[in-house]
């Protein structure tokens, strides 16, 4: 049976009131308005939609030290599926939100207005941010209100993202679209000659579950049912590339899903960066693993491939997520130097702590060190400037993966299950995966401003409930 939409398409774009159809020949084809909605929203055929690139937001003002922006979180209608629009929550109504391009050392100030009918809070993931601007779960923006967020950007070039962090609500808010890229650039990185400008492309991967009418279905923990993968907000898009090098900043923006990505038939790609910026040297790899919140910066080289070549980026579980369609050759002065940004030596730690992430067998909630999140309790007190080693264990030894994310700092992975980290994990990180039973040792120096922050599992359906804790940096 044709849907109302297909009927309207066939009959032209004019929308008539239902009464007008009553006597028309089309009446029989129309669904009963009182019956269940017959719309069937479906993903477009694979590789028929071009991957969008979230537009870069323009500052509303610039001074010698600061770029000023405004953003509004609101409901919006996104064209994701065929057959129906999808209601999302979007920064400026965009899905994903607009990209901020910041410069290290230049301040960014964002006036965030909340036009949703519920509290929001904006967190810059990976940012070395003063506490009042970090999106602490209780520091919310009430409906209709505006809050000013200040980002000093006193950190090296890297790929960050901003997303909602309102107490208990962040998992649903992020799921519905409150997420976007925030890139920091610096002169040292620019001098390396990596692919830049239109050849430097952020890609957010995430999953979603859609109802038949095209609406986003949110149910905490229903990971198995979130079977549609969105690549910059679209299903299985294609992306035209020239036969040259590209830099892609991959972000896992999913609530629970991890990705294991491969290019073509398992081609080698160069990973150049992680959560906190460039690696010491490019790491050749055939698979890119991303747990929720992690970023991988890669250079893909299409040089020498004939026009018409198609190369698929696929996830081990979900299948193809993107197809690169190679066009003609293009002038390419970019390079991938053998040395990117040497990592500084690790200092001696002042403090060593242990953390256990796991499900409480008493009440089946996810906890850290046996405690459920309480924003009014300080779990870890840290002296400003101290270097600490955190030994973090996923105590759920059977099937439940977690990961671990620290606000305010990037850390280094000292070991994973007693062994040295893989080369790509040896760079600056702020989020690390923890398979059941795994232990990682992390080292961080808490140089940032004093105040209260959180750390948590970034499978945010877990953290939204209880798998989160607070740390206070004290002078
Ligand atoms: Cu992506 Cu608390 O963060
Ligand atoms: Cu964060
Ligand atoms: Cu978890």
> Does any ligand 1 atom lie closer than 6 A to the CB of residue 358?
no
Give me the pLDDT at residue 20, please: 34
Residues 171 and 153 sit within 8 Å (Cβ to Cβ):
no
- Domain endpoint, select from 188, 211, 228: 188
Atom of ligand 1 lying closest to residue 165 CA: 2
User: Are residues 174 and 204 located together in one domain of the fold?
Assistant: no
> Does any ligand 1 atom lie closer than 6 A to the CB of residue 125?
yes
The contacts of residue 28 (CB under 8 Å, 6+ apart) are none
Q: Per-residue DSSP letters for 433-470?
A: EE-TT-EEEEEEE--S-SEEEEEE-SSHHHHTTT-EEE
> Is 340 domain-assigned?
no
Residue 301 sits in which domain range? 197-329
How far is it, in rounded angstroms, from Cα 11 to Cα 106? 55
Neighbour count for residue 12 (Cβ, 10 Å) = 8
Taking only the tens place, the pLDDT of each residue in 93-151 is 999 999 999 999 999 999 999 999 999 999 999 999 999 999 999 999 999 999 999 99
Distance 250 CA to ligand 3 centre (A): 21
> Does any ligand 1 atom lie closer than 6 A to the CB of residue 405?
yes
User: Are residues 250 and 222 located together in one domain of the fold?
Assistant: yes
- Bridging pattern class, strands 245-252 and 200-208: parallel
> Is 317 domain-assigned?
yes
Taking only the tens place, the pLDDT of each residue in 174-213 is 999 999 999 999 999 999 999 999 999 999 999 999 999 9
* Nearest residue to 162 via CA among 78, 92, 93, 99: 99
User: Are residues 184 and 201 located together in one domain of the fold?
Assistant: no
| Residues present in the chain in total | 475
3-class DSSP assignment, residue 75 = strand
Distance 27 CA to ligand 1 centre (A): 52
Distance 163 CA to ligand 1 centre (A): 7
Ligand nearest to the CA of 367: 3
Taking only the tens place, the pLDDT of each residue in 7-24 is 333 323 333 333 333 334
The contacts of residue 24 (CB under 8 Å, 6+ apart) are none
> Is 51 domain-assigned?
no
Give how far Cα 56 sits from Cα of 223, 336, 372, Å: 31, 25, 38
User: Are residues 159 and 283 located together in one domain of the fold?
Assistant: no
> Is 20 domain-assigned?
no
Distance 283 CA to ligand 2 centre (A): 25
> Does any ligand 1 atom lie closer than 6 A to the CB of residue 407?
yes
Q: Which residue numbers in the chain have pLDDT < 50?
A: 1-32
DSSP category for residue 227: -
Residues 155 and 184 sit within 8 Å (Cβ to Cβ):
yes
**Residue with CA nearest ligand 1 atom 1:** 125
- Domain endpoint, select from 154, 188, 222: 188
Distance 294 CA to ligand 3 centre (A): 14
Q: Give the domain CATH number at 77.
A: 2.60.40.420
3-class DSSP assignment, residue 175 = helix
Distance 26 CA to ligand 2 centre (A): 54
Ligand nearest to the CA of 293: 1
- Domain endpoint, select from 158, 188, 218: 188
Domain count, the chain: 3
Atom of ligand 1 lying closest to residue 163 CA: 1
> Is 288 domain-assigned?
yes
User: Are residues 222 and 182 located together in one domain of the fold?
Assistant: no
> Does any ligand 1 atom lie closer than 6 A to the CB of residue 123?
yes
**Residue with CA nearest ligand 1 atom 3:** 125
User: Are residues 414 and 373 located together in one domain of the fold?
Assistant: yes
Atom of ligand 1 lying closest to residue 431 CA: 1
Residues 68 and 59 sit within 8 Å (Cβ to Cβ):
yes
User: Are residues 440 and 399 located together in one domain of the fold?
Assistant: yes
């Amino acid at each position: 049976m044709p849907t109302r939409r297909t009927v309207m398409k066939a009959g032209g774009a004019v929308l008539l009131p239902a009464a007008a159809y009553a006597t028309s020949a089309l009446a029989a084809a129309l669904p009963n308005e009182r019956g269940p909605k017959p719309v069937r929203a479906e993903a477009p055929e694979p590789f028929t939609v071009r991957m969008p690139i979230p537009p870069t937001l323009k500052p509303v003002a610039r001074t010698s030290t600061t770029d000023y922006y405004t953003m509004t979180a609101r409901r919006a209608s996104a064209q994701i599926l065929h057959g129906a629009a999808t209601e999302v929550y979007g920064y400026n109504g965009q899905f994903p939100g607009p990209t901020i391009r910041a410069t290290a050392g230049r301040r960014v100030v964002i006036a965030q207005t909340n036009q949703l009918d519920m509290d929001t809070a904006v967190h810059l993931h990976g940012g070395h941010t003063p506490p009042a601007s970090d999106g602490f779960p209780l520091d919310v923006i009430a409906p209709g209100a505006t809050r000013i967020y200040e980002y000093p950007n006193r950190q090296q070039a890297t790929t960050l993202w901003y997303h909602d962090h309102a107490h208990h609500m962040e998992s649903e808010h992020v799921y519905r679209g409150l997420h976007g890229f925030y890139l920091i650039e610096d002169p040292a990185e620019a001098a390396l000659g990596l692919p830049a400008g239109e050849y430097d492309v952020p890609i957010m991967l995430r999953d979603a579950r859609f109802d038949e009418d095209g609406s986003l279905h949110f149910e905490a923990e229903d990971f198995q049912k979130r079977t549609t993968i969105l690549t910059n907000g679209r299903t299985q898009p294609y992306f035209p590339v020239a036969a040259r090098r590209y830099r892609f900043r991959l972000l896992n923006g999913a609530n629970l899903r991890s990705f294991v990505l491969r290019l073509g038939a398992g081609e080698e790609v160069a990973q150049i960066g992680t959560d906190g910026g460039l690696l010491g040297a490019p790491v050749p790899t055939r698979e890119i693993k991303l747990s929720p919140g992690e970023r991988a910066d890669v250079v893909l080289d299409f040089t020498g491939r004939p026009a018409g070549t198609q190369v698929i980026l696929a996830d081990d579980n979900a299948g193809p997520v993107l197809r690169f369609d190679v066009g003609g050759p293009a002038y390419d002065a970019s390079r991938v130097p053998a040395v990117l940004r040497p990592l500084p030596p690790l200092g001696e730690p002042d403090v060593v702590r242990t953390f256990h992430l796991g499900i409480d067998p008493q009440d089946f909630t996810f906890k850290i060190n046996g405690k459920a999140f309480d924003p009014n309790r300080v779990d870890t007190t840290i002296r400003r400037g101290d270097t600490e080693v955190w030994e973090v264990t996923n105590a759920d030894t059977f099937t439940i993966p977690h990961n671990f994310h620290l606000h305010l700092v990037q850390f280094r992975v000292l070991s994973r299950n007693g062994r040295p980290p893989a080369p790509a994990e040896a760079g600056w990180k702020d989020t690390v995966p923890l398979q059941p039973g795994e232990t990682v040792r992390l080292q961080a120096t808490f140089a940032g401003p004093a105040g209260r922050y959180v750390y948590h599992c970034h499978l945010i359906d877990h953290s939204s409930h209880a798998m989160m804790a607070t740390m206070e940096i004290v002078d």
